[in-house]
C-alpha cells in the first residue's frame, strides 16, 4: 500500500439536498480507519447544503469546499453570486476555481485569476482547474493551453502552498473517455514543468479529474505523478466513492 497522501475531492455539481447529509456516514466511518488516514477527503456540495455538510463534518478529518466563488472579496451588487469571504465565514476550507463548466459559462483566465487572489486573501485553499478541449487536443495544443491557463491563473499569487492543481481534460468530463497512461503521465509532467517555471521551490500537488470512477481508479492510481482525484458523479454515491478511496490504496 502506498504511503503517499492522496486527495479525493467530491464535486457534487448541481445535485444533493438536505437528506444527502446522511450519505456521509459511511465515508466518515472509513476516514477513521488507520489504513486510510492518509486520504485527504474534501466534499464540495452545492451552496444550498454547504452549511449542512460543514456542520456534519465538523469533528472529522474530512474537509468541505465550495464549487465556485465571485471574484469580489466581500459584498456587492452581484445577484446570484457568493464571495470567497462569505464561503470562508460559513466554515468552508476549500473552493474550486476555473472548472471547465464555469469556463464554459463565461469565466475567463483574468476572472479566474481574480477569484484565486480573492480566495487566498480570505485564507481559502484553492482547487485550480486547468485543461484542454477536444479541438485543442487534436491540434496538439495541450501543453500551450495548460501553460497559458496556469500562468494567467497564478499571476500575482504569493501563497502557492494553498493551491492544488486539478488537471481535467474538458473532452473527458462525463464522457467515460480518459487518456492513455503514457499521455496522462506526460501531461502531468508538463504541468509540473510549467509550475516549476512559475515557482521553483514549491512542490505542487496535481489532481486528475475527468470521468474518474470505481472502475478505472486502479488504472489511474498506477500513474505515479498524480496526487489525487477530482471526482464528479461517482462521488455522490457513498459506496462508489469509498471504492475509489480503497482501490487507490491497494
| Residues with a known catalytic role | 99, 168
Cβ contacts of 19 within 8 Å, gap of 6 or more: none
> How far are the Cα atoms of 9, 82, 120 from residue 86, in angstroms, in the given order?
21, 7, 13
Residues 6+ apart with CB under 8 A from 70: 76, 78, 81, 82, 83, 84, 115, 118
What count of other Cβ atoms lies within 10 Å of the Cβ of residue 128?
Answer: 25
d(CA 206, CA 196): 13
Torsional sign, CA 177, 171, 204, 196: positive
Query: Which one, of 165, 174, 214, 219, lies nearest residue 192 by Cα?
Result: 165
- Give the chain's largest Cα–Cα span: 51
Nearest Cα residue to 184 out of 214, 154, 153, 219: 219
Distance between CA 124 and CA 66 in Å, rounded?
A: 10
DSSP class of residue 162 equals G
Amino acid at each position: 500500500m502506498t504511503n503517499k497522501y492522496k486527495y479525493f475531492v467530491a464535486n457534487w455539481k448541481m445535485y444533493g439536498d438536505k437528506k444527502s447529509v446522511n450519505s456521509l456516514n459511511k465515508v466518515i466511518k472509513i476516514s477513521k480507519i488507520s489504513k486510510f488516514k492518509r486520504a485527504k477527503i474534501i466534499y464540495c456540495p452545492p451552496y444550498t447544503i454547504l452549511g449542512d455538510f460543514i456542520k456534519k463534518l465538523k469533528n472529522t478529518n474530512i474537509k468541505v469546499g465550495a464549487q465556485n466563488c465571485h471574484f469580489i472579496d466581500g459584498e456587492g451588487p452581484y445577484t446570484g453570486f457568493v464571495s470567497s469571504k462569505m464561503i470562508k465565514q460559513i466554515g468552508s476550507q476549500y473552493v474550486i476555481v476555473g472548472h471547465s463548466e464555469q469556463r464554459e459559462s463565461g469565466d475567463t483566465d483574468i476572472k479566474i485569476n481574480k477569484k484565486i487572489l480573492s480566495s487566498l486573501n480570505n485564507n481559502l485553499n484553492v482547487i485550480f482547474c486547468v485543461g484542454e478541449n477536444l479541438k485543442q487536443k487534436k491540434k496538439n495544443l495541450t501543453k500551450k493551453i495548460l501553460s497559458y491557463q496556469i500562468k494567467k491563473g497564478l499571476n500575482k499569487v504569493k501563497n502557492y502552498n494553498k493551491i492544488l492543481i486539478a488537471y481535467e481534460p474538458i473532452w473527458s468530463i462525463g464522457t467515460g473517455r480518459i487518456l492513455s497512461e503514457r499521455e496522462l503521465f506526460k501531461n502531468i509532467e508538463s504541468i509540473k514543468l510549467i509550475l516549476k517555471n512559475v515557482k521553483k521551490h514549491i512542490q505542487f500537488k496535481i489532481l486528475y479529474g475527468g470521468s474518474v470512477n470505481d472502475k478505472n481508479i486502479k488504472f489511474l492510481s498506477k500513474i505515479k505523478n498524480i496526487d489525487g482525484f477530482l471526482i464528479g458523479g461517482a462521488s455522490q454515491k457513498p459506496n462508489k466513492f469509498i471504492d475509489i478511496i480503497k482501490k487507490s490504496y491497494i
